Amino acid sequence: MPKQATRLAVQKTYKLFIGGKFARGESGRIIAARDAEGKLLANYCRASRKDFRDAVRAARNAVAGWTKYSAYLRGQILYRAAEMLETRRRELESELSRVGSSAARARREVTAAIDRLVYYAGWTDKFSQVLGSVNPVATSHFNFTTPEPTGVVVALTPDEPALLGLVSIIAPIIVSGNSVVALASAANALAPLTFSEIIATSDLPAGVFNLLAGDRGELASPFASHMDVNAIVDGSGDERIGAELQTGSAINVKRYIRRDAANYFAHDAENPYWILDTVEMKTAWHPIGL
């Protein structure tokens, strides 16, 4: 009887997440993810400018529908993402450990990411009352100021903590009804790319969250110059990239927010005013008695 051949494991290639689908990347390029000793862990797709344009198009198409969801429903969907993250926490802990985190730190990071999603899920139906106002005026009018989503937001996430940094940056963006195109750190992209698989099963409408992975230096210029991007949240911590984003954002007066959170594990990263960074304050007048 012939000896059975040794089975070859199916190696996973981590893909981009654009418009609710897993894309292999327009250019066909990949980046090798390696552990601290240089051993190959996996390959993941490297985003190009074309992939970014596709992601912005998907994000723009998703904004109108996502904004119409009730605040309560948006909170339920974010909470669902936290539930799904809880069920796959072991896998994410493994992803973080493979690239150099200790087991204890990986557990702590995944736990904090779950709690961060729950925290912002609770703000969906509360931030309007906290950040908005009824304004005193001298005429016989009601005067209301309310926050509304700014639209499509590009987010650059930190190298560390890769998963918690991603969640902490994108959650306050989508809470208000924005859509987001996030760029995971090329130095530590496996856990964020796995997180996109969780988002795909969390009832979040396609296009609200899009995730790219690649070189910040290559993509910073198109991020800043794209005319259909309304705001950029920069958590990269890179001074050169930040300067390029700020300069390019002047083309269409994008809002640029520099997210310097030295410790994403701290309560400072649970901040309702981070929601305020990507909303527009709209004021309406209404005559009294009509």
Answer yes or no: is 9 within a domain: no
Answer yes or no: is 65 within a domain: yes
Answer yes or no: is 141 within a domain: yes
Answer yes or no: is 6 within a domain: no
Each residue's pLDDT tens digit, 85-126: 999 999 999 889 888 788 899 999 999 999 999 999 999 999
Is pLDDT of 146 > 90? no
Answer yes or no: is 231 within a domain: yes
* Long-range Cβ pairs for the range 89-96 (8 Å, 24+): 89/114, 91/194, 92/163, 92/191, 92/194, 92/195, 95/163, 95/190, 95/191, 95/194, 96/162, 96/163, 96/191
Is pLDDT of 128 > 80? yes
Domain that holds residue 18: 14-284
Cα dist from 263 to 166, 175, 187, 259, whole Å: 13, 22, 18, 11
pLDDT band for position 219 (cuts 50, 70, 90): very high
CATH code of residue 270: 3.40.605.10
What pLDDT is recorded for position 13?
A: 83
Answer yes or no: is 290 within a domain: no
pTM of the model: 0.90
Answer yes or no: is 1 within a domain: no
Each residue's pLDDT tens digit, 30-88: 888 887 777 888 888 899 999 999 999 999 999 999 999 999 999 999 999 999 999 99
Number of folded domains that form the chain: 1
Q: How far is CA 61 from the centre of its chain?
A: 17
**Nearest CA-CA partner of 58 in 183, 206, 263:** 206
